[in-house]
Structure 1
């Protein structure tokens, strides 16, 4: 199983590197992130090259399943610049996603990355929604995926994955940014702090303000660890 996980991870990374990265191209061999620096730039400043070690380009543990004991029955394990400082300026990252039966990675976006997802185990129903089309409206693209299938979610578009099988499912995804970010739609709309005005949301969703107040009072699960 460990070998299979490694192969699928390498495939996802290689696939996403072929996509035009949304991050700037590097101007040197590497720029290992100094995560302790107090300097604020668009990315991370570089460590002194003399202090760089092989461990700056390494991460273990993706052979272990994430904990899906939550409301969504899913767990996203990221490997971005915050976990591997050597990814800084390279325009690429990786996630492992575990889904229990009926597990959902809910509608969300990555504001800075395209995602290519490969199913390692199980079956997933996946899809994404386009931005506003000419003439209005948003188009939904969906697909039922099985082991070995691959699907691409374009940069910035709302997308999701749902485990339709009776067993656990596993997927790996490569993303075209060292730090793609994630905006989970329901959490952002109903769980922001401070909350968005219920007048605004009631009008936007064409529902009563009491329903908005109820939604804002709920606990919105974050499956990104």
Structure 2
């Protein structure tokens, strides 16, 4: 929700602590998931997905160091517990030397969940920073007059825009490696009639072909 929404209550969309915790947690998980994806040829295509997301989160993390709330917010313990549980479980698996190899469809589900969390983090934090009555300020010591607003076009805003615009994962070709899946795909292709002319992505161009004025 943004300020001109009728249901907007003016409350902060995300606090400084929430932003820092989610960024640190997702950065750690992206690094772990990248290593996990690299263990099998069928899931290796996801390595670049997690690496790219981790690179943006790594750039974002130090920029949140001095972020402060104008009005202190009560910590969302449910969020802390959930993120802490996920990160602690992954760390415990690493400490125990457990090697986890996921199937392509499982890795795709993991990538989609990661995309959803990081996309919502970037979108919510960027909206909160840019709205006129934002509860977040940059409290860096270099600002002699005290905490200041984060402006559009700043490095932090640009990094969040990069995070928001990262693409969602694509379904890998390895998803159709199963013989039954390949057969089903082949049957679908065989039953699909061939178009009389190459398809056009432009509706206007397609309509010209059927118009009484077209040749």
After TM superposition, the score normalised by the length of structure 1 is 0.24
More strand by share: 1
After TM superposition, the score normalised by the length of structure 2 is 0.25
More helix by share: 2
> Considering only CA atoms, is the larger Rg found in Structure 1 or Structure 2?
2
